Chain A
Amino acid sequence: MTEPLPDRAAGAAETTSPSWSRRRQPLTRARAFRISVPYLLIFPVVAAIAVILGYPLYNLVKLSFEKYGLFELIRHSGTWVGLDNYSSVLHDPVFWHTLLRTAVFTVVNVGLSIGIGTLLALLLVRVSAWVRILLTAGLVLVWSMPVVVAVQVWYWMTNFQNGVVNYALTQLRIGDYEQHDWYATTFSQLGMVTTLIVWGAVPFIVVTVYAGLAQVPSELVEAAEVDGARPWRVFLDVTFPILKPIFLILTSLSIIWDFGVFTQPYLLIEQSRIHASNFLMAIYLFEEGYFKSDFGRGAAISILMLVMVAGMSVFYVRRMVRMGDVE
């Protein structure tokens, strides 16, 4: 409100002069422009989101309330069944087993990725520049590998008949791994998937945490060390509180990624071994929706998954914020 003052003073002096309106007009337009700039700037994004996300989401919600199988697909119209799809999913014991399995799977994967990633980031700070470059280059290579290619490499390495892992373990006399089946039980199937996912997720976490570590003032760390704090205490009381926002983001993102993971388990476990006894949520959704051509039920499962992930994220964010307030 400081700007208009000289303006109004000038206007008062020449009320009737035509130059007043000439000077005033470009100004209002400028002001209107200034007010609308933020809206104009977000308009393309909002429009794009509305078209790309909003419309399909609307259709998905609609689909989840319809009986929509192969018969309806061919006729391009479903029949409204209210909450039938939801109640059939919620009464399916496979859904609850899968949910529990996926929850455990997510906790293990997120925990391992964040844990190993943080340790590697702390290591990066301490090693020489040369080793750091080498390590970073390796991590970026892992990061840049497309998921499907990574799965193929993993699959080839753990192959039953001619796998290099079995060969190496046998040659190293760790045990007789000739013709060892790495996909024989649900536990070992999901174990292989976990290794692959953690391997792929670690680089992003290392790079992000490492960047965050650069923000930790070295005086604080030194002061704590002078006071006799052990490395673990320094990390817990100095480094971690400063990096908390970063961990918050990384953990929420990892939960979202790992809870809905599809490509790695579907390709690595292999279609012919996929069964209700090793389903993860996204695979359960795919089997029910696409393989059984029950698209309405599939839509209901995906809405439930969406609600769960959103719920988890909100819960987690609020807890972290509250923890910050207490301190």
Chain B
Amino acid sequence: MSILAVLAIYLIIAPIEIVSLIKTNKRKELVLFSFIMLIAFTLSVLIAFDVKIPSINRMVGDLVTSITGE
């Protein structure tokens, strides 16, 4: 179910932005835009399928608690 929501959201948002970028002829911007959008999309799909993703905040948390010992 949630995968459908993810697909719907990205299919609505991405075309609107991409069209406006192509219209104003911004090639480099389009590359960066697609790159970040792709990362976000991959993460969203993984979250939708309940895959556990290693999180930086948790790693920092483990590091700090191992130092302070709380």
A and B part of one assembly: no
Interface residues, chain B, CB within 8 Å of chain A? none
Interface residues, chain A, CB within 8 Å of chain B? none
